[in-house]
Structure 1
């Protein structure tokens, strides 16, 4: 992948619906070059798809947070299953740092977030946790 490919991917991340003409103008190359590069990036698996972000997707969770969990013993798989069963849990991530699992949570209100946090803290095997509210998202894959 060269510099033009990286710039093309950056432009597509900003606006995946940009016309080939606009992309070509922004990159200083021809439309044919842009089309060929997009096709090549898709064939090589660098670009695996395009998505649509709806207004409702961004407004769905006015209160969002990341909860970092320390798990005692070997209960991580069980706890992740429990977490994924909660409607407020948007994603779970295993990690290799201080925390064993990072949980993305979204709720309509702070009170509901507090209830979810309390519920998770009561899971058998949760040794300690720390939660940070997400105040603003500047770039998201969704």
Structure 2
């Protein structure tokens, strides 16, 4: 990983806020020359520090407003089977393996609390799951910069 200076961090933060900002807008906002902004972005992309650009749609923001994280313990060696079953559930957005007390962390997203509850009932019925804990996600804040 390359070393990021203050300009890089400010530039990445500005791009996180508005990935469609023009070079001129970024230069004005950061009080830098356009050539500096352009070369910094090119360097950050070439080094892999910026891995890509994406679009956030209205559906991304409004779909499935009920979100949660479910932590589960698995008995024995059934992890791969359980992961495959979890990935078949429509509410499951991601499955993360982890260490510590919990074996898996599941990201869930549904339209209603009832749908979330129905999904949790299905998850708890999977053979091999010994315990679970679910926390609702109330809000998400992404850092402006990462080091």
Establish whether TM, by shorter chain, passes 0.5: yes
Match of 1:110 among 109, 113, 117: 113
Alignment map for 1:57-72 (pairs within 5 Å): 57-72=60-75
Aligned residues between the structures: 140
For 1:46 and 1:106, locate their aligned partners in 2 and report how far apart those are by CA, in whole Å. Answer: 29
For 1:25 and 1:129, locate their aligned partners in 2 and report how far apart those are by CA, in whole Å. Answer: 50
Who is 2:89 aligned against?
A: 86
Cα deviation for residue 133 of structure 1 reads 0.9
**For structure 1, which segment, 113-122 or 88-97, has the greater mean C-alpha deviation from structure 2 after superposition?**
88-97
User: 2:38 aligned with 1:35, yes or no?
Assistant: yes
Structure 2-normalised TM-score? 0.89
Cα deviation for residue 64 of structure 1 reads 1.0
**For structure 1, which segment, 32-41 or 18-27, has the greater mean C-alpha deviation from structure 2 after superposition?**
18-27
Relative CO higher for 1 or 2, CA cutoff 8 Å, sep ≥ 6? 2
Who is 2:139 aligned against?
A: 136
For 1:91 and 1:31, locate their aligned partners in 2 and report how far apart those are by CA, in whole Å. Answer: 39
Residues 103-136 of structure 1: CA distance to partner in whole angstroms, max 9, x if unpaired?
0111111111111001001111111100011112
Ranges in structure 2 where 5+ consecutive residues have no aligned partner: none
Who is 1:126 aligned against?
A: 129
For 1:69 and 1:13, locate their aligned partners in 2 and report how far apart those are by CA, in whole Å. Answer: 32
For 2:70 and 2:95, locate their aligned partners in 1 and report how far apart those are by CA, in whole Å. Answer: 10
For the aligned residue pairs, the C-alpha RMSD in angstroms reads 1.4
User: 2:26 aligned with 1:8, yes or no?
Assistant: no
Q: SS in structure 2 opposite 1:34?
A: helix
Match of 1:51 among 48, 54, 71: 54
Cα deviation for residue 97 of structure 1 reads 2.6
